[in-house]
């Protein structure tokens, strides 16, 4: 998908020193990971990020619109259009407003990075810092773990912390594979401890799938890929054994993994979480059957579940079901077709691409693989990582295109006049 530029072409390779964006981006990323949805500091950091982007655009910098922003804008348009037929006007309106400022944040962040590509690696570093700050605050300061009680007042939800830790572990792995500094192993170990405290199965799955795919894509030939697959399978078995055989870890997360596996492969009832997900899927699919083409309106599931269940409002906890219930097949294809195109293009030839591209593709696939257990469109941490990963692939392709153009220019014969 081509990149659209608005405004004068400006060259930014020569920028030196730190600007306002280099100060705002860390605040935005850390607050996104460490603070709950709707927090005033987090919202203010998003507005500040957009403000810096507007000021830099006003100075004459060219606005880039990479493919992710086109896909995000299209999904936002469909969500906003659903206000015309939504069965939950209040919830749908609030969700569209949230999507609007999030889309503004994506536009600002992607452009601020594209104007100075070194900000991408800095952003990955701040994701690790944000996850460490968030985990330390929840686990070490508050002494909170989520094995028994899945929500605790005053701290971020366990799912948010789990995805933040999983993302930071993936980044630490990617960084360690490049230069092998010990500090990334230390940070990965600490983050793994925080992840265990969340008892989050989806975070665990993201890490496992990412590691398997990342090292598979790094392999240069079939024998290396086969070896990577075998080693990955053995490590997975060992990790599971460590969790199950250690009473502390088994109490935190092991029993939840076993319950999930029993529900999938043995048709057992599963724990309360698994049973709850079954109910959410049932309600969501009944809503989808009522309006299969255009859905019931963005975030309509939230209110409709409360009507059906009579106790509380919640998301479907499943991205596929949530989108089908809210926006029908129209929204489902608008969201997943661009994602599928990105994954297919990224995986094809990824073993010959730069390490950051392999990391980005592996992580996006890992996130997409757990869409059955989380509503990605409502996850600010998950979407932040998708934004950064798609930008990594975009900048790599732009760099390749620039290199090829430079080669063509240098290969042209000089004119008689020089």
Beta-ladder partners of 64? 5
Residue 64: φ, ψ to 5°: -100, 140
Residue 65: φ, ψ to 5°: -125, 85
Angle at 400 between CA 399 and CA 406, to 5 degrees: 90
Nearest one of 181, 396, 146 to 388, comparing CA atoms: 396
Residue 66: φ, ψ to 5°: -70, 165
Query: Can you point out the beta strands (E) in 56-155?
Result: 63-65
Q: Which domain holds residue 229?
A: 20-395
Chain centroid, CA 102 distance in Å: 13
Tell me how far apart the alpha carbons of residues 307 and 416 are, in angstroms, rounded to a whole number: 80
At residue 399, the pLDDT reads: 62
Residue 80: inside a domain, yes or no? yes
At residue 19, the pLDDT reads: 85
Residue 176: inside a domain, yes or no? yes
Q: Please, is 19 exposed, middle or buried when counting C-beta atoms within 10 Å of its C-beta (0-12, 13-18, 19+)?
A: middle
Tell me how far apart the alpha carbons of residues 35 and 30 are, in angstroms, rounded to a whole number: 8
Angle at 91 between CA 88 and CA 94, to 5 degrees: 140
Which stretches in the chain have pLDDT values below 50?
A: 1-16, 263-271, 401-411, 414-418
Residue 401: inside a domain, yes or no? no
Residue 114: inside a domain, yes or no? yes
At residue 242, the pLDDT reads: 65
Tell me how far apart the alpha carbons of residues 4 and 155 are, in angstroms, rounded to a whole number: 41
Total domain count, the chain:
1
Residue 107: inside a domain, yes or no? yes
Considering just the CA atoms, what is the radius of gyration of the chain in Å? 22
Tell me how far apart the alpha carbons of residues 418 and 409 are, in angstroms, rounded to a whole number: 14
Nearest one of 63, 43, 51 to 21, comparing CA atoms: 51
Report the C-alpha dihedral over residues 32, 33, 37, 40, rounded to 10 degrees: -50
At residue 181, the pLDDT reads: 78
Residue 5: inside a domain, yes or no? no
Residue 288: inside a domain, yes or no? yes
Residue 194: inside a domain, yes or no? yes
Nearest one of 135, 192, 189 to 160, comparing CA atoms: 135
């Amino acid at each position: 998908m081509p990149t659209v530029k608005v405004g004068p072409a400006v060259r930014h390779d020569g920028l030196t020193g730190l600007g306002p964006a280099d100060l705002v981006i860390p605040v935005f990323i850390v607050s996104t990971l460490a603070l709950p949805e709707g927090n005033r500091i987090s919202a203010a950091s998003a507005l500040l990020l957009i403000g810096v982007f507007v000021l830099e655009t006003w100075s004459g910098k060219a606005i880039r619109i990479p493919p992710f922003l086109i896909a995000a804008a299209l999904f936002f348009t469909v969500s906003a259009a659903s206000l015309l037929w939504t069965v939950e006007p209040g919830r749908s309106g609030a969700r569209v407003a949230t999507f609007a400022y999030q889309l503004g944040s994506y536009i600002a962040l992607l452009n601020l990075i594209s104007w100075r590509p070194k900000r991408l690696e800095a952003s990955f570093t701040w994701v690790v810092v944000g996850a460490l700050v968030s985990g330390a605050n929840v686990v070490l300061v508050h002494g909170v773990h989520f094995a028994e009680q899945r929500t605790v007042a005053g701290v971020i939800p366990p799912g948010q912390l789990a995805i933040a830790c999983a993302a930071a572990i993936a980044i630490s792995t990617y960084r360690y594979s490049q230069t092998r500094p010990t500090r990334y192993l230390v940070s990965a170990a600490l983050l793994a401890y925080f992840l265990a405290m969340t008892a989050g199965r989806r975070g665990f799955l993201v890490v496992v799938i990412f590691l398997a795919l990342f090292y598979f894509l790094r392999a240069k030939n079939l024998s290396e890929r086969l070896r990577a697959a075998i080693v990955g399978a053995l490590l997975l078995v060992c990790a599971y054994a460590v969790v199950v055989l250690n009473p502390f870890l088994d109490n935190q997360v092991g029993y939840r993994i076993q319950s999930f596996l029993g529900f999938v492969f043995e048709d057992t009832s599963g724990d309360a979480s698994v049973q709850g997900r079954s109910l959410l899927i049932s309600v969501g699919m009944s809503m989808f059957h009522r309006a299969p083409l255009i859905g019931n309106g963005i975030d309509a599931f939230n209110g409709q579940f409360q009507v059906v269940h009579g106790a509380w409002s919640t998301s479907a906890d499943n991205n596929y079901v949530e989108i089908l219930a809210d926006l029908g097949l129209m929204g489902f294809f608008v969201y997943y077709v661009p994602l599928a195109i990105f994954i297919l293009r990224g995986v094809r030839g990824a073993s010959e691409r730069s390490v950051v591209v392999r990391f980005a593709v592996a992580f996006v696939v890992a996130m997409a693989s757990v869409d059955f257990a989380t509503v990605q469109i409502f996850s600010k941490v998950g979407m932040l990582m998708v934004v950064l990963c798609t930008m990594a692939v975009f900048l790599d392709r732009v760099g390749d295109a620039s290199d090829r153009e430079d080669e063509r220019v240098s290969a042209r014969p000089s004119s008689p006049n020089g």
